[in-house]
Amino acid sequence: MFNISTQALFSQLLVGLINGSFYALLSLGLAVIFGMLNIINFAHGALYMMGAFCAYFLLSIAGLGYWWALVLSPLIMGAFGMFLERTMLHRLAGLDHLYGLLLTFGLALIFQGLFQNYFGSSGLPYAIPQELTGAQNLGFMFLPNYRAWVVVFSLAVCLATWFAIEKTKLGAYLRAATENPSLVRAFGVNVPRMITLTYGFGVGLAALAGVLAAPINQVRPLMGGDLIIVVFAVVVIGGMGSIMGSIVTGFALGLVEGLTKVFYPEASNTVVFVIMALVLLVKPAGLFGRTA
Amino acid sequence: MTGAAITTIPAPGAGLNTEMKVFAVMAAVLALIGPTGIVYPYFIMQALCFALFACAFNLLIGFVGLLSFGHAMFLGTAGYASAHAAKVWGVAPEVSILFGAAASALLGVLTGLLAIRRQGIYFSMITLALAQMIYFFYLQAKFTHGEDGIQGVPQGKMFGLLDLTRPMTLYFVVLAVFLLAFLLIYRIINSPFGEILKAIRENEPRAISLGYKADQYKLAAFVLSAALAGLAGALKALVAQNASLTDAHWNMSGEVVLMVLVGGLGTIYGPVLGAFVIIAMQQYLAGIGQWVLVAQGVIFVACVLAFRKGVIGVLAERLKIQL
């Protein structure tokens, strides 16, 4: 069991870090959305998938490459998210949280079903941008440039988001509006607009993760369906109270999953759920959760 | 907290008669329609299994306010357990059905203990995640035969008398089990135990301050719901003569939510109607790819935005009766 080559160990750890980046970006978006809208966005996985498809369409229709997609896809999807918030989610304000979950679940079924109808279940290839092809020889392993970029860039985006929410004036408004929206409104802040923008931002993060994933996992209609459930477990483990908590938990669980693939591959699909069960037994509010 | 959109059921006595009249009509229609063959009996049997599944699910969301997004794990577990018992161990159908329901009840105890540690939206996410774990377990376990499922489950003779290979005998057995389980759920809802569940749904802190151990009641309701969902799963495996991964997938968990939502959350007959509507829709749309998913999604969105009471909920409100 322990005679694993360091090569295999490090390459699985890298895969784990990559998955962790997606977990972090997605659970961060979920946490930000939940904070403002009190909605668990079940459509997050489908929107991540649509972010990847957006990159694919930008290339195949408009001829715009990876770097354009990295900017445009989150903006386009973010605008789409704001449209969803204005037309539908917005109407659920004041109702039980469950309805938000059900509505976004319905949206996820629609998006996923539509893309499956037109693109089947197989993957569409999306090339790694020229600048990031190749790999570095680190001595103990080969590190593909693109994978290193994904990890570093995701981490940077996560930290920038953390900084924007925890350290800037806009972030202070946002946190205040999360705590007490009516009081913040009384100070003249346009809270409904902030809610719309927040949802758009969360969706943009999901789309960004989708673009980053496109060259690694191919563009598939089902790429978000199962991922979102793992991200839910990540959110339960971390607790949604803390931005940094979502980031740390996301990366950490990706690593744990990678390690499991090396030492006990049969459990690699389920390890996150097992950890969730253990955390619930020991610390029901989640590792970074504030209240039960 | 969930009270705003969910029909409250008053104390027993107020609407008992209408409910029982409707039950008699439902039982008579189902008993008569099968032998005539107007509707394909296999379709009705399948719909009845889903109706029971939906009623079990509704027991939690409608009367305790807990939205489980992982109920497929109970349907799937009982399906596998009963199919395995009937095919590999060769036990009689009544034993395999009870074994399936017991397996789901046991799973209900284990997952319930974890899930009730969190409330509201977290409860839903936890049940979903646990169900996904169970799904992966069945995907990899040997006895489930992975993607193939357990096929060719023998139907056998129930109590050594009723030959279930004869379609009409099977039909009436399925109908009888469904009606009995339905009455059991009705009885649970209108018992003192059911009243406490509703009190917890409306205001958990107050129920606790009155001395009720809310967690124990929630767990009991969860296990009951799991066992009844298991009964549905075992029955379904017997009818379809197979147990497959489809029944354990999260799509199935979503489907049962949809059935109950369409019929009416917290109504007694809503889940039954919802199950028939959704299963009929699947039959019609089965031939054309993934449009079933899209249609389900559209119904979800439409129900949540504009039709939160469901068909039976609206009907009950118009007629000013309990259904």
Domain ranges for chain A: 26-221
List CB contacts of A93: < 8 A, sequence separation 6 or more: none
Rounded average pLDDT over B286-309: 89
Q: Is the pLDDT of residue B296 over 60?
A: yes
Higher pLDDT, B110 or B160: B110
- Alpha carbon distance B126, B115 (integer Å): 6
Give the pLDDT confidence score for residue B10 in this predicted structure: 52
A with B: how many residue pairs have Cβ under 8 Å apart? 131
pLDDT band at A95 (very low <50, low <70, confident <90, very high): confident
Would you state the pLDDT for residue A88? 94
CB atoms B301 and A233 under 8 Å? no
CATH number of B3-319: 1.10.3470
| Predicted confidence band of residue A136 (pLDDT cuts 50, 70, 90) | confident
- Under the banding of pLDDT at 50, 70 and 90, the label for residue B11 is low
Q: Does B290 touch chain A (CB under 8 A)?
A: yes
**Cross-chain Cβ contact A92/B133 below 8 Å:** no
Q: Do B304 and A281 touch (CB under 8 A)?
A: no
Q: What is the pLDDT of residue B73?
A: 97
Inform me whether the pLDDT recorded for B189 exceeds 70: yes
| Helix spans in B116-190 (H) | 120-140, 167-189
The alpha carbon of residue B243 is apart from the nearest alpha carbon of chain A, in Å, by: 22
Mean pLDDT of A191-218: 94
Tell me: the pLDDT tens digits for B149-171?
A: 999 999 988 898 888 888 899 99
Contact between A112 and B293 using a beta-carbon 8 Å cutoff: yes
pLDDT at B216: 96
- Give domain limits for chain B: 3-319
The residue type found at A195 is I
In this predicted model, what pLDDT tens digit does every residue of B12-33 receive, in sequence order? 555 557 888 899 999 999 999 8
Judged against a pLDDT cut of 80, whether residue B289 lies above it is answered with: no
**Closest by CA position to A49, among listed A11, A16, A22:** A22
**A117–B294 C-beta distance less than 8 A:** yes
Spatial distance between the Cα atoms of B86 and B91, rounded to a whole number of angstroms = 5
Percent of chain A with pLDDT over 70: 98
pLDDT tens string A32-70: 998 888 889 999 999 999 999 999 999 999 999 999 999
Residue A24 CB burial class (10 angstroms; 0-12, 13-18, ≥19)? buried
Contact B114 A281 (CB under 8 A): yes
- What's residue B77's pLDDT? 97
Closest-CA residue of chain B to A99: B304
| Residue (of B106, B122, B121, B149) closest to B248 by Cα position | B149
Specify the pLDDT at position B16.
Answer: 56
Provide the residue type at B112 as one letter: G
Which amino acid makes up residue A140?
A: F
What is the distance in angstroms between the Cα of B293 and the nearest Cα belonging to chain A? Answer: 5
